[in-house]
Amino acid sequence: MFNMFNFLRRKPRVYSKIENHIFGIITELLKVSSTDINVDELGGKYYLSNEEQHFKVTILSNDYVIRLTNTRDSVAEKYDKFFVEDVLKAVKEEKHRRMELVYDSITNSIEKMAERLHNTLIESNEQENEKVRRLEAEHLSEQKVNF
């Protein structure tokens, strides 16, 4: 029986040979932690750069253009909308993952700092209590001598 929703299901995207190659380059760059990811959301520009490999990628999402630049060449081509959106999805996911790692690291540092502060305050409070007990003991012993 014909399922009415079969035609709504998106078929898996098949990329051209060059699109596969470019997607592979970009995903490999994203895997390397030394690759910087910079985003200009308002301008629809996404930048990947890896200084070690002397490689840069610029994605102009509004125009569906991807520019690849190395020390010798710079090539910019217009690509299919869906291909560029898939590339951007991978870039955004990696950017988000990295931001979560930074966020987790900051949260962890704050928690450790708060724990150290808490322990310091407890220690300081215990020292103050000890001083008060000593002073009270000295005061009591002085009163006994005066009688």
The answer to whether position 29 is within a domain reads yes
The answer to whether position 83 is within a domain reads yes
Q: Which domain holds residue 27?
A: 17-92
Q: What is d(CA 130, CA 10) in angstroms, rounded to the nearest whole number?
A: 73
β-sheet bridge partners, residue 57: 48, 68
The answer to whether position 24 is within a domain reads yes
3-class DSSP assignment, residue 77: strand
The answer to whether position 5 is within a domain reads no
Residue scoring higher pLDDT (145 or 125): 125
The answer to whether position 82 is within a domain reads yes
How many structural domains is the chain composed of? 1
For residue 50, which of 71, 65, 64 has the smallest C-alpha distance? 71
Q: What is d(CA 53, CA 56) in angstroms, rounded to the nearest whole number?
A: 9
DSSP codes of every residue in 14-76: ---HHHHHHHHHHHHHHHSTT-EEEEETTTTEEEEEETTTTEEEEEETTTTEEEEE-SS-EEE
The answer to whether position 39 is within a domain reads yes
pTM: 0.65
The answer to whether position 33 is within a domain reads yes
Which of the four pLDDT bands, split at 50, 70 and 90, describes residue 79?
very high
3-class DSSP assignment, residue 93: helix
Look at residue 3 and tell me whether its pLDDT is greater than 60: no
Mean pLDDT of 26-30: 94
Q: What is d(CA 11, CA 13) in angstroms, rounded to the nearest whole number?
A: 6
Look at residue 35 and tell me whether its pLDDT is greater than 90: yes
pLDDT at 130: 84
Look at residue 55 and tell me whether its pLDDT is greater than 90: yes
